[in-house]
Structures are given as structure tokens and as C-alpha cells.
Amino acid sequence: MSSSNSSKQQTYSSRQSVQGKDNGQSGSLGKPADYVYFDRNLSGFSEEAMTRAKSAQLKMEHYYKVAVDSAIERNTRRVDLERRLQSETMMSEERKNRQLQQLGKKESTFLRLKRTKLGLDDFRTVKVIGKGAFGEVRLVQKIDTGKIYAMKLLKKDEMLKKDQLAHVRAERDVLAESDSPWVVQLFYSFQDPSHLYLIMEFLPGGDLMTMLIKYDTFSEDVTRFYLAECVLAIEAVHNLGFIHRDIKPDNILIDKDGHIKLSDFGLSTGFHKQHDSSYYQRLLESGSNASPHGPVQSSRNSVMVNSINLTMTNKDQIATWKANRRKLAYSTVGTPDYIAPEIFSQKGYGKECDWWSLGTIMFECLVGYPPFCSENTHETYQKIMQWQRYLAFPEDVHLSREAEDLIRRLITSDDKRLPVEQIKRHHFFYGVDWDVIRRIDAPFVPSLRSITDTSYFPTDELDQVSDIPVVDPNAASKDLAFLGYTFKRFSTTAPAF
């Protein structure tokens, strides 16, 4: 017998002897005389063994959690369909049975899909359409189906180095939980040793920032349309139990019909959490140029808007600010122009911070630049913190009383900011039919030449890359930090393209 085994046997014997003395006799508690008490001391195991054991534990727990959750979801879908069919009194039993059988086939197909391991080689890169601090966005085509998606790649190293793990997980969770028409739909997520991948629907109309750079300002009718859709989109995120925290024109995407959807939920959080604001402090390390005031003509008729017309303004400084604004979108710094003051204060905040952001976007749509933009981010931060002093409407911009009033009721202290129901009832939104707005004609509809048209994205400013990113062969140890990231959506419908 080895020395280690001998030592363990002595331990067991001594514990058994002590137990016998305590009880008076071994059988007093119903245990046999030769019962062995194991010493659950982990001090003898190496750090590597403990790490491997913990990894195995987490993976097993996750495996069974996913299996149980999937079974519950399948049963819920079956019960929901059965209840709907029971209420269909005019439908024949044969047709009801066919629908139940169709659901069974879809469930079987989905189970096969979940067992299939997706990877980068299942997609062909068409073009890089966006870059950020931690990765890039590509237009891709799934090789087996030919369907078009937007693929967001995130570098694990950068995520861990910049302490962004909670942020990237928040984005994946929001997209996975949402089936709202106001949120970009996530179809798949997966990972390899170096990268995380989000496979989302491709929205070919670009983003609101690109439109603002191109058109300078919008009329009040056009602004009303986009603001109303943003209200419904933000409300949908709040109803999921999340705060977006990063509402800005860059994250408001335009679909093929000209309607908006929210994207980029990397800074979103649940209502019960408070952010440490360390991310936002990095916003103060780099600057952006200020812009002077710019004129705009506004009109107010109804939500049925005319097409957008380019406002012919000749403002060199506005153009300079907007050029720098584009650069900030690609940097690790970003822009603080749309961030509510309570987020910077580190004293906690609620969903009201998203309505402040909406107010700054409304100001930019009507005036041509955000209300607190400055030559650098530190000055912008100072203006936001002293918003009572710096919020001003330029004299040469003529806004309706309703528009100015709504801006002032959004860009205000969080305890006075309008909640969503009062926003919807505000006079600025008079004439908006909130239930059908997504079905009316948008003021701008992308003119697309093909399903892979990227003309509404500034791809000329981006470096194009090969199909396959560089994979770090030594990155396998990082996988545990991203356990549970994989996702496949159960859907009866195909993506837009």
C-alpha cells in the first residue's frame, strides 16, 4: 500500500474510532461497525486539479440547465398551440392535428440544429461593414442556405483585458430573450478559442448617424416619426427588464422598409444592477471638435411625413465635428454626447437614463448637433454634469413650442423626466397612431440593388479582411469565462433576406 493510501486509511480509522467513542457503540445511529468516514479535505489536490474539477462542474451544470430549459420551452410551445387550437371552433380536427404535427417536425428540426456545431467556416464573408473597439461587423452569407446575415465578431482577449465580459454577456442575453420587432434579431451565437460571434439579421439601411451626417437636420415631421419609433423600441427593451444605457444614433439601425431597430446592447443592464461607470470614465480621455449652431426649417403637420430633403447648409465646422464623430464611433473611447448625467455620478440610476439620450437625439435631429458637444470629451462631460447652465437653443433655429417643451422634459433631472406613457401623450406626438406606426410608409426607404447592398454603410472607410480571422491556438483556457454563450433561435420564419 502506498504512503498516501496508508495515511488516508489512518485518517478513516481514527475518525471511525472517534465516532465510536462519541456514540458509545457503532450501531447507535444505524451505521454498521465498519462504516468508513471520508475526509473531505481538498488541501491535497493541486491547483490544476481543482481548476479542472471546477470547470467540469460548471460545464455539467450548464449542460443540464440547458437541457431542462429546452424541454420546458418545447412543452410551453406545445401547450400554447393546443390552447390556440382549442379556441378555434371553426377549424376541423384534421387541420388541428396537421398543425400539431407540423410543430413536432419543427421541433425535431430545431433539435438537430442545436446538435449541429456552428463555426466560422459555415459562413462566407461578403464585406466588413463596421468596426468597433473590440471587434467588427461583417456582412456574411450562410453557405448551406445562402441566407444573408450580419456577423458581429468580438475578440476574447480584448473583452477580458478591458473587463467587458459582463457587457458582452448582457448583449447576448438581451438579443436572445427578445423577439420584438424593435430589436435586432439574433439567430445564432457561438465561439472559437479567439472570438465570440453573433449572427444577426442584416439591416441594409445603415444607421441614424449616417443619415444625420448626410442630411444635417430633419424637419419636425421626420423627427416625430423616428422619435416615435425610438420610444416604442426603448419601451420594448425596458419591458424585457433591461436598460439600454447607450442609446445614440449609431445604435439606431434602419431596416429595408425604412423603420428602425435598436442594436448594440453591450452596455445594457438589468434594473436591479448598478454600473460602476468605469467604462464611461474612459470617454473623457479623447476629444471631439465642437460645432457652431446651424439653422433648420421645421414644420408640423402629422406623422404622415414627406420624404427627407437635404438641407442645404454650408457649415464647415459642423462638417468637421461630424467627421470626428465618425472616427469616435470606431474608437475605444466612443462619445459621451448622449449619456445621462446620473450615469457619470456613480450614484445609481434607472431606466430614465434612456429617455435623456432620446432627448439629446431629438435635439440633434432638429438642430444639427447634440446639445453638449464640445472640442473634447472632457468638456462634453462637464457640460452634461452642468446641463442646467449649458442647455440652450440657438436663436436662428426655430422650433415649435411642442418640440422645445419635449426636449426640456427629457433633458432634465431624472426625477422630473417624463415616463413613457406621458411621452406618448405629449403634444409633440399629436397624430401618432402608436399601434400601426411600423406599418405606415417611412420617410426614407433604402433603395437596394441586391440583397448584399451595403451602399448605406461607410465601407470605403474600413479595411477589408479575409474570410477567416486569426485564431489564437493558446486561447482555449478562456472558454470557461464565456460558458453558455452559444445560442440558436427557434423560429418559424426566415430572416429578411
DSSP states of 256-268: TTS-EEE---TT-
Tell me what the mean pLDDT of segment 88-104 comes to.
84
CB 157 within 8 A of CB 148: no
93 confidence band (pLDDT: 50, 70, 90): confident
Tell me what the mean pLDDT of segment 195-206 comes to.
90
Q: What is the pLDDT of residue 214?
A: 85
Active site residues: 246
Tell me how many helices (H) and strands (E) the chain has.
15, 10
Known binding-site positions for ATP? 152
110 plus 124 within the same structural domain: no
Q: What is the pLDDT of residue 496?
A: 42
Residue 10 lies in a domain: no
Give SS3 for 135.
strand
Higher pLDDT, 473 or 355: 355
Residue 409 lies in a domain: yes
The three cell numbers of residue 162 are 478591458
Place of cell 423577439: 179
Tell me what the mean pLDDT of segment 57-66 comes to.
72
Q: What are phi and psi of 269, to 5 degrees?
A: -150, 160
CA nearest neighbour of 96 among 105, 106, 104, 86: 86
Higher pLDDT, 449 or 115: 449
CA nearest neighbour of 329 among 393, 397, 283: 283
> CB under 8 Å to 367, separation ≥6 — which residues?
217, 293, 294, 296, 393, 394, 397
Residue 29 lies in a domain: no
Length of the chain: 497
Residues forming beta bridges with residue 195, ordered by sequence position: 155
Give the mean pLDDT of the chain: 75
Boundary of a domain, candidates 71, 90, 115: 115
CA dihedral 266, 270, 276, 277 (to 10 degrees): 50
328 plus 229 within the same structural domain: yes
75 plus 181 within the same structural domain: no
Q: What are phi and psi of 139, to 5 degrees?
A: -85, 125
Q: What is the pLDDT of residue 187?
A: 87
82 plus 127 within the same structural domain: no
- For 101, counting Cβ atoms within 10 Å of its Cβ (0-12 exposed, 13-18 middle, 19+ buried), the class is exposed
Q: Of the ranges 81-95, 402-416, 423-437, which one carries the lowest mean pLDDT score?
A: 81-95
> CB under 8 Å to 375, separation ≥6 — which residues?
287, 288, 289, 290
Residue 101 lies in a domain: yes
Tell me what the mean pLDDT of segment 434-461 comes to.
89
Higher pLDDT, 271 or 205: 205
Q: What is the CATH number of the domain that holds 431?
A: 1.10.510.10
Q: What is the pLDDT of residue 220?
A: 95
Q: 252-254 and 260-262 as β-strands: parallel, antiparallel, unpaired?
A: antiparallel
226 plus 347 within the same structural domain: yes
Residue 290 lies in a domain: no
71 plus 150 within the same structural domain: no
CB 495 within 8 A of CB 221: no
Q: What is the pLDDT of residue 100?
A: 85
pLDDT in tens, 151-162: 988 888 776 665
Boundary of a domain, candidates 64, 88, 115: 115
Higher pLDDT, 71 or 199: 199
Q: What is the pLDDT of residue 265?
A: 67
pLDDT in tens, 462-497: 665 554 555 555 554 455 555 555 655 655 444 444
Instruction: Domain of residue 220: give its range.
Output: 207-270+313-439
Residue 142 lies in a domain: yes
Q: In whole angstroms, what is the distance from residue 345 CA to residue 195 CA?
A: 33
Tell me what the mean pLDDT of segment 450-465 comes to.
76
Q: What is the pLDDT of residue 15?
A: 47
Q: What is the pLDDT of residue 413?
A: 94
At residue 242's C-alpha, the angle toward residues 240 and 244, to 5°, is 125
Q: What is the pLDDT of residue 361?
A: 96
Higher pLDDT, 380 or 56: 380
Residue 241 lies in a domain: yes
Q: In whole angstroms, what is the distance from residue 89 CA to residue 87 CA?
A: 6
Known binding-site positions? 152
Tell me what the mean pLDDT of segment 239-248 comes to.
86
Higher pLDDT, 473 or 233: 233
246 plus 125 within the same structural domain: no
How many of the other CB atoms lie within 10 Å of CB of 351?
20
> CB under 8 Å to 322, separation ≥6 — which residues?
212, 213, 291
How many of the other CB atoms lie within 10 Å of CB of 333?
17
415 confidence band (pLDDT: 50, 70, 90): very high
Count structural domains, the chain: 3
Report whether pLDDT(411) > 90.
Answer: yes
Residue 148 lies in a domain: yes
13 confidence band (pLDDT: 50, 70, 90): very low
Q: 252-254 and 148-155 as β-strands: parallel, antiparallel, unpaired?
A: unpaired
Give SS3 for 14.
helix
Higher pLDDT, 446 or 286: 446
The three cell numbers of residue 349 are 440610476
Q: What is the CATH number of the domain that holds 128?
A: 3.30.200.20
241 plus 384 within the same structural domain: yes
290 confidence band (pLDDT: 50, 70, 90): very low
Residue 486 DSSP class: -
The three cell numbers of residue 370 are 447634440
Name the helix (H) or strand (E) containing 383: helix 377-385
Residues forming beta bridges with residue 488, ordered by sequence position: 188
84 plus 188 within the same structural domain: no
Q: In whole angstroms, what is the distance from residue 126 CA to residue 466 CA?
A: 10
CA nearest neighbour of 179 among 493, 395, 397, 497: 493
85 plus 195 within the same structural domain: no
Boundary of a domain, candidates 70, 99, 115: 115
359 plus 408 within the same structural domain: yes
Q: In whole angstroms, what is the distance from residue 473 CA to residue 58 CA?
A: 23
pLDDT in tens, 108-147: 776 776 667 778 888 999 988 887 767 788 999 999 889 9
Tell me what the mean pLDDT of segment 238-263 comes to.
90
Tell me what the mean pLDDT of segment 281-296 comes to.
38
Place of cell 376541423: 92
181 plus 254 within the same structural domain: no
> CB under 8 Å to 491, separation ≥6 — which residues?
187
Name the helix (H) or strand (E) containing 225: helix 220-239
Q: Between the CA of residue 123 and those of 179, 250, 382, 495, what are the distances in Å? A: 24, 26, 45, 15
Q: What percent of the chain has pLDDT over 70?
A: 67
Report whether pLDDT(25) > 60.
Answer: no
